[in-house]
Amino acid sequence: MPILKSLYDTGSAFAKAALPIAGFFNKKMKLGSQGRERSWDILDTKVKSTIPKIWVHVASLGEYEQVVPILEKLNRKKYQVVLTFFSPSGYENKKNTQLADVVCYLPIDAVSNVSKFMGLVEPSLAIMVKYEFWPNYLNALKSHKVPTILVSGIFREKMSFHKWYGSWMTSSLEAFDHFFLQNESSLRELKKLGFENASVSGDTRFDRASQLIERDNRIPALEKLINGKPCLVVGSSWPKDIEVMKKWLVGNDQTKEIKVIIAPHEVHEEKVTELENSLPFDTLRWTETKIHEKLLTSNKSVLVIDTIGLLTKIYSYADVAYVGGAMGNSGLHNILEAATFGVPVVIGKNYDKYPEAGKLEDLGGLFSISNAQDFADTVNKLFEDDFLREKTGMVCGHWVNSNTGATNHVLEQLKTIDEELITS
């Protein structure tokens, strides 16, 4: 379908030109636009032409976490790792990661950008994560005969490959030497597209989550604040998540029976202040407790986290965890980070695109709520019934532990490309 391909290329070129303008109207787009402009300087100054490169691309923070177990095993003495992000929420959080040598935004999938990127990076291997399918980049990898794999891939019936307007992109999937898929349904969908070079390895996020429980997760200040009381951790919340639990939070603040820790998805000042103002009672701020330690003995029931990088440790203090994103359409955040600590998980209603949530619900470790009454009933029952809470928590911990191993499948395949590519 040359016409559709031509339209895509025209649209990509337009997006490349329009992104700086869009940045005037949207803060997130501004970050992405300015970051992509800097990408060329980063690549030009940091990529070493004398060392073979491994290009790893992820969409955002969640996909980065999926590929961490693999990044940790790549041989940095022999290869230089170039890590690219599509979204600001991923790049801005992980631009200083020590797991890659070069970190930048992925330039828009315009033909001119792709040619320039491939010329600067000259990858010897490409690793894509989940469902990052940029046709011009994939076609370039294919034409340059760069070994390419997909990690923790997902294919669904409703993806654009099955639509009249997106079927032309199917040929770009020929760039992949192997597809490591999360589940059998993805394998079936991929076979419908004509590809057999795939296997169900599982989701590397389970491996990443299982690592969390092995590290030191202590936060002494939280122990002082919680002071032996039951604790609800609300992770990666959005306004619609807070709205559905607001009535319960007000009631709990009156009794102060349960400590609540809220870690919003967006932690810049404007959003944190907006969250605080949405609650009709006073809350604590994490950074303020670090400055004024006496606040840790406050009788306030809610602590708002205004710092990134703490949530996975905070989950270890939860008796019940609410994972945000599914009350609205922003996307469910990572439930494994909470489940790995043997904590019952509560989420919103919109999780159809997240098979792991449906599976954990079927097993009895996860509860989906649709409204404020659902939230209150579910959370109250979990806190009041010790046996139910402990039982569902055990289900969650066992589920994570029993689904590890996807990383090893990928590493074995990478060793066939180069035995020295992976460190022991």
Q: Are strands 320-323 and 366-368 parallel, antiparallel or unpaired?
A: unpaired
Radius of gyration of the chain (CA): 23
Residues 186, 189, 194, 197, Cα dihedral to 10°: 10
Q: Catalytic amino acids?
A: 63
Task: Choose among 413, 403, 287: nearest CA to 335.
Answer: 403
DSSP annotation string for 329-362: SS----SHHHHTTT--EEE-S--TT-HHHHHHHH
**Structure-token pair, residue 393:** 């928590």
Please give the structure tokens belonging to residue 41: 């300087």
Neighbouring-strand partners of residue 102: 82
Q: Give ∠ CA 12-14-16 in degrees, rounded to 5.
A: 70
Q: Where are the beta strands (DSSP E) in 307-421?
A: 320-323, 345-347, 366-368
CA distances from 368 to 32, 336, 344, 352 (A): 33, 15, 11, 11
